[in-house]
Structure 1
């Protein structure tokens, strides 16, 4: 049976509205830093707080199998409401810097009931063509990832508190949309009992393990690349003695173009298959890692920007396809739990990757720094394709 036409657009819009919570703090960091008069190191702390909250939340959600034991739309709604409330902690800046970090931690925690749960809801409706459906969902997240660059501009035009109020309001609307318009899907199979080992036992299945390993390799590269896009552009400008260049503008497009790549990759997977399409994207993004020192040093600025745009396409195009493979190779009754634990481990890997790159900045020539990211695609391809 074909799902009603409103289902996918509603899931995508709700996902975008609610995941905008993720990067709300990034858009007003300058204002928060000036309020507290703290050093630049706090920028990393406020971002890491969200990631740590998300990892904690996904681990707890997975161990308790919440999205498989309860209605995913209700889990999504409550997570959206509580995430919106946590996000409002940013405007209570007079209470102290520790409250700001706590606010971002709990925002990340409740995002665990939004991002992987949105994919679970889509999987409950789209047994066939899941790669295309998740392409739209992850594409919405990618555009949200680029949003901080737009928020920086908005925060300069309006009082920064209005940005936070608006994003929390969007999260509430997104949660209500999902709850009101997207009931439990026809392919959902409820898990009636609590199984604290289900999230780890699923890795015994070979095909699931292959998909998860591919995703883990992909995540080693993805968020570190996104985090360092402005740095890469600035480094190229410095090497080529260019003084004026719209770094924020091109950073937005290098990241945002990945949203379109997710959608296109989903359609390609309908003809070529999710696994081959993901493998090609992962291999090409690994090649970009290896080519990065040469393009940084020798390419003209237009060529380098085109290179980064291509990298921005292939670095994310495989993400919804790995989630598709994870969902399809997990037992139906714990599909949500499987997606959640894979997200948990994947985002933990992103923190490790970021820290490794930070530590290596003083140890190796800067232009060779991002070759290290190729280790992720190499491992991912090995995990995905080995017999």
Structure 2
């Protein structure tokens, strides 16, 4: 058995390679709109298609307890191979909007065997310091999500299809690395059969419910922010002609800096506690939502970019901490299923927020619409605060 310190970098690299499939379509969205004559609101629809595919995938994986019944590394490999194949399918020239949506849906479906399964693999290796380990892992997800924007910027003179070919190739490599170098972890407790009651059963634990609801509030904001970062940059440029932004590169930086925040948050949580650290990060991202109109009105380009960079950090810093708390408050034999279930519901919420924001943008060009993203963090903060207060009261009573 390989030493755990050797295992973590392999999991992180594999996760980074495979999650580059997630926003591969977003990275080339301008080219897709031109080549396939799509509507301007195609970004929201294609992003939601990936999210919906991920939701359906996590639902199937959770109901069949796949991540607990089978070797997680093998599940990861199969999902990486199929996800990369459907991602690559976009390079075909005869697409309609329906076929593009179908391919992005199927890519999202098999991401359900990558992201939560990667966290399950990490949880099978690390019990102490799980928050720090998942910080690195979610950081890899963030960089993987941002990577297509960087590829688009770097591949300026190359066809847009090169972005899709490279992300699919990386996903295949990531799957092979995982299956060959990461055996089943020492803390893995295999599930013996499909458990269709697991979906509802995990929510019987009050502490689990609290952190899950906190995560759901976080997810309302997260993917909508990521999806609309390029739109925010373009919107600011139109309102401030002096702002000459390199949108793909800045999008990569604003999203990608969140990977560093995940790692930093993991280290802070070791001293301050995962729940307290997650609460503070969620509170800060809520503040960014509410203050966003002020920064859109600023004539200082650097101030606006700095604000988005800070928002890009706090919007994701709590994500690995919530996953840590979910894993810690689930039964050992249902740990993978619990992570998958929470992801399933959380990503369902992202579709609502993305589509809601897309609809609003067709009705108004007001910069105040991004304050609506604060709804989720407020809900999440309330769930965490109520549980913390109730726990404190119970300790005093006992």
Asked if these proteins are the same fold (TM beyond 0.5), I'd say yes
Distance 2:174 2:350 in 1: 27
Partner of 2:252: 252
Separation in structure 1 between the aligned mates of residue 66 and residue 348 of structure 2, nearest angstrom? 20
Bigger mean CA deviation after superposition, 67-76 or 158-167: 158-167
Tell whether 2:281 aligns with 1:281.
yes
Q: Shift in Å at residue 123 of structure 1?
A: 0.4
In the alignment, the residues of structure 1 paired with residue 377 and residue 151 of structure 2 have an alpha-carbon distance, to the nearest angstrom, of 31
Alignment partner, residue 117 of structure 2: 117
Q: In structure 1, the residue corresponding to 2:5 is in which secondary structure? A: coil
Q: Is the 8 A contact 2:61 2:67 kept in 1?
A: yes
Partner Cα separation in structure 1 for residue 303 and residue 135 of structure 2:
28
More deviation, 229-238/100-109:
229-238
- Name the CA distance, whole Å, in 1 between partners of 2:367 and 2:300: 15
Match of 1:135 in 2: 135
Match of 1:302 in 2: 302
Stretches of structure 2 lacking an aligned partner (at least 5 in a row): 391-398
| Alpha-carbon contact 1:73-1:182 (below 8 Å) kept | yes
Q: How does 1:69-108 map to 2 (within 5 A)?
A: 69-94=69-94, 96-108=96-108
User: Which shifted more, 221-230 or 195-204?
Assistant: 221-230
Question: What corresponds to 1:369 in structure 2?
Answer: 369
Q: CA RMSD in A?
A: 2.0
Say which SS state the counterpart of residue 93 (structure 1) adopts. coil
What is the SS of the residue equivalent to 2:38? Answer: coil
2:25 and 2:59 map into 1 onto residues whose CA distance is 23
Is the contact made by 2:265 and 2:277 (CA closer than 8 Å) also made in structure 1? yes
Q: 2:242 maps to what in 1?
A: 242
The question of 1:226 aligning with 2:235 is answered no
Hey, what's the Cα distance between the residues in 1 that align with 2:96 and 2:231? 30
Aligned counterparts of 1:228 and 1:95: Cα–Cα separation in 2: 24
Is contact 1:93-1:99 (8 Å) kept?
no
| 8 A Cα contact 1:28 1:151, kept in partner | no
Give, in angstroms, the shift of residue 157 of structure 1. Answer: 2.5
* Structure 1 stretch displaced more, 354-363 or 217-226: 354-363
TM-score normalized with structure 1 length? 0.94
Q: Is the 8 A contact 1:292 1:370 kept in 2?
A: yes
- Is this contact kept in 1: 2:44–2:355, CA < 8 A? no
Question: Is the contact between residue 10 and residue 181 of structure 1 (CA under 8 Å) also seen in structure 2?
Answer: yes
The residue number in structure 1 matching 2:176 is 176
Q: 1:155 to 1:29 in 2, by over 3 A?
A: farther
Q: Which moved more, 1:79-88 or 1:229-238?
A: 229-238
Contact kept, 8 Å, 2:153 with 2:249, in 1: the verdict is no
Aligned residues of 2:47 and 2:227 also touching (Cα < 8 A): no
